[in-house]
């Protein structure tokens, strides 16, 4: 849950700062952590996760009790840190797979920093940085080794908001690095530098014309792969009626790979269309705010992503989502989608033999429910299903890997948030 209204409690005030300690624990079942094909002996396991967390921030508007005439602060700061211990208890599959699963017990974590400079003024800025360790499998054909990786990110934006805020424009730079721990996957380590701009013109109180564009500088230091992905989109985002919101963005994307020279490039239309119906009336005047209201939505996204197999893959995904709150105590969040994952012809590299293009079908569904026992304690349950429907097998150094897999997960958990 990414919205702070659901992830943080009242906190502890210390001078001009808020402290938010927290903790969560989760226990459940994972049918196929390595995402192996049905013919490749999936390993099922019980899984236990525990996550302590802590965040520090300047005073928020609820605690500062600022009046509408009070000038905004010169700076707003937030920092957070968390760690997650993962324990696996294999219960099904071959003995070799169970032994490999037991060896996946590990600790992941995340450190993130955010700084707003001169917020709510005609000229302002944002700085952000994060550093994390991810304990997770891959769905792109590597099923025998740890896929643990370090994710580092940093960036900033300059924001221009003239007049009364009907127009705003942002220009920024962001860095993302994915560093693999296993020597086997060292060639997959990649770095991306992105120059980005986006803006909006609010021509109605809750409706805006929006624009975004980005140019990336992608490199694989040890993998003989580089490119300059470009995306440009524009469209509409906002409320057409008090309860109906539409996001419609269309544009063009191109991958512009310079290496490998025999690789394929994406060069086509990208965009998003989403229709959301609020089950209660939104109150915010911000047309791009993530309003925490009961809603039902459906949409379609077309985009491309850099791929660890070959150059890129295209994703065309339709989805639907329901978010509902019962009496201020019970949260229900259900989302599902189906996507066509389209791979072009791939050249031979250090992992895969050359292969002609193909299309996989990706299915995903998640249901999350949480009950607030107290204002700072929640009990939750999560059910998740993911599947990759594919008839493609790739020749790799360890043999032949099928890209078909399915995974079912079910967890019960609790969290405390101050």
Amino acid 287: pLDDT: 40
Question: Of 84-88, 100-104, 138-142, where does the model show the most confidence?
Answer: 84-88
Q: What is the pLDDT of residue 3?
A: 41
More confident residue, 395 or 61: 395
Print burial letters for 54-79: b (CB count within 10 Å at least 16), e (below 16): ebbbbbeeeeeeeeeeeeebeebbbe
Q: What is the pLDDT of residues 294-349, one digit of tens each?
A: 999 999 999 999 988 888 999 999 999 999 988 778 999 999 999 999 999 887 76
The pLDDT-based confidence of 205 (bands split at 50, 70, 90) is: confident
d(CA 247, CA 251): 13
Quick one: pLDDT at residue 418?
A: 83
Residue 390 has pLDDT above 60, yes or no: yes
How many other CB atoms sit within 10 Å of the CB of residue 127?
15
- Which sign, positive or negative, has the C-alpha torsion 133, 135, 140, 145? positive
Q: What is the pLDDT of residue 47?
A: 95
pLDDT of residue 65: 57
Ranges 6-10, 139-143, 240-244: which has the least confidence: 139-143
Pairing type for strands 244-254 and 230-241 reads antiparallel
Task: Identify the pLDDT of residue 30.
Answer: 96
Give the model's pLDDT for residue 260: 74
What average pLDDT does this structure show over 362-379?
A: 94
pLDDT of 186 reads 82
Q: What is the pLDDT of residue 385?
A: 98
Give the chain as a 3 state SS string. Answer: CCCHHHHCCCCEEECCEEEEEEEEEEEEEECCCCCCCHHHCCCEEEEEEEEEEEEEEECCHHHHCCCCCCCCCCEEEEEEEEEEEEEEEEEECCHHHHHHHHCCCEEEEEEEEEEEECCCCCEEEEEEEEEEEECCCCCCCCCCCCCCEEEEEEEEEEEECCCCCCEEEEEEEEEEEEEECCHHHHHHCEEEEEEEEEEEEEEECCEEEEEEEEEEEEEECCCCEEECCEEEEEEEEEEEECCEEEEEEEEEEECCEEECCCCCCCEEEEEEEEEEEECCCCCCCCCCCCCCCCEEEEEEEEEEEECCCCCEEEEEEEEEEEEEEECCCEEEEEEEEEEEEEECCECCCCCCCCECCEEEEEEEEEEEEEEEEECCEEEEEEEEEEEEECCCEEEECCEEEECCEEEEEEEEEEEEEC
pLDDT surpasses 80 at 353:
no
Answer yes or no: is pLDDT of 239 > 70: yes
**For position 67, what pLDDT does the model report?**
59
User: What average pLDDT is seen over the chain?
Assistant: 88
pLDDT score recorded for residue 71: 80
Peptide bond into 159 cis (omega under 30): no
Judge whether residue 95 has pLDDT over 70: yes
What is the pLDDT at residue 5? 47
Mean pLDDT of the region 168-188: 90
- For residue 288, pLDDT over 50 is answered with no
Query: Whose structure tokens read 């107290």?
Result: 374
Lowest-confidence pick of 76-85, 216-225, 314-323, 377-386: 216-225
Give dist(CA 350, CA 308) in Å, integer. 11
Of 97-106, 111-120, 131-140, the range with the highest mean pLDDT is: 111-120
With pLDDT > 70 as the criterion, what percentage of the chain qualifies? 89
Q: Which residues does residue 13 pair with via DSSP β-bridges, in sequence order?
A: 18
């Amino acid at each position: 849950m990414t919205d702070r209204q659901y992830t943080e409690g009242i906190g502890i005030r210390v001078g001009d700062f808020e402290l938010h300690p927290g903790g969560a624990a989760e226990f459940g079942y994972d049918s196929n952590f390595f995402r192996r094909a049905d013919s490749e002996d999936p390993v099922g396991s019980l899984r236990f996760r525990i996550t302590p967390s802590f965040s520090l921030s300047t005073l928020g508007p609820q605690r500062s009790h600022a009046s509408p005439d009070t000038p905004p602060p010169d700076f707003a700061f937030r920092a957070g840190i968390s760690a997650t211990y993962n324990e696996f208890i294999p219960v099904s599959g071959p003995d070799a797979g169970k032994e490999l699963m037991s060896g996946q017990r590990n600790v992941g974590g995340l450190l993130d920093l955010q700084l707003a400079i001169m917020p709510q003024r005609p000229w302002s800025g944002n700085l952000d940085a994060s550093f994390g360790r991810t304990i997770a499998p891959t769905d792109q054909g590597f099923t025998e080794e740890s896929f643990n990786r370090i994710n580092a990110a940093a960036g900033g934006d300059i924001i221009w908001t003239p007049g009364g805020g009907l127009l705003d424009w942002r220009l920024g730079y962001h860095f993302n690095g994915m560093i693999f721990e296993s020597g086997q996957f060292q060639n997959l380590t990649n770095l991306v530098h992105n120059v980005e701009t986006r803006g909006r013109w609010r021509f109605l109180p809750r409706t805006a014309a929006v624009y975004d564009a980005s140019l990336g500088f992608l490199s694989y230091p040890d993998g003989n792969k580089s490119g300059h992905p470009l995306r440009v989109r524009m469209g509409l985002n906002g409320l057409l009626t008090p309860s109906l919101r539409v996001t419609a963005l269309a544009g063009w994307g191109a991958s512009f790979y310079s290496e490998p020279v025999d690789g394929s490039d994406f060069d086509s239309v990208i965009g998003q269309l989403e229709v959301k119906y609020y089950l209660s009336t939104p109150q915010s005047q911000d047309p791009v705010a993530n309003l925490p209201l009961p809603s039902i939505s459906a949409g379609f996204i077309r985009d491309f992503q850099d791929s660890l197999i070959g150059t890129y893959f295209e994703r065309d995904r339709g989805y639907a989502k329901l978010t509902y709150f019962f009496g201020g105590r019970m949260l229900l969040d259900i989302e599902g989608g189906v996507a066509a994952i389209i791979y072009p012809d791939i050249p031979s590299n250090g992992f895969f033999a050359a292969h002609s293009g193909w299309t996989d079908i990706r299915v995903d569904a998640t249901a999350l429910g949480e009950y607030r026992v107290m204002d700072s304690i929640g009990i939750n349950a999560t059910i998740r299903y993911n599947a990759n429907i594919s008839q493609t097998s790739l020749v790799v150094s360890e043999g032949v890997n099928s890209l078909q897999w399915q995974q079912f997960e079910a967890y019960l958990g609790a969290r405390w948030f101050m």
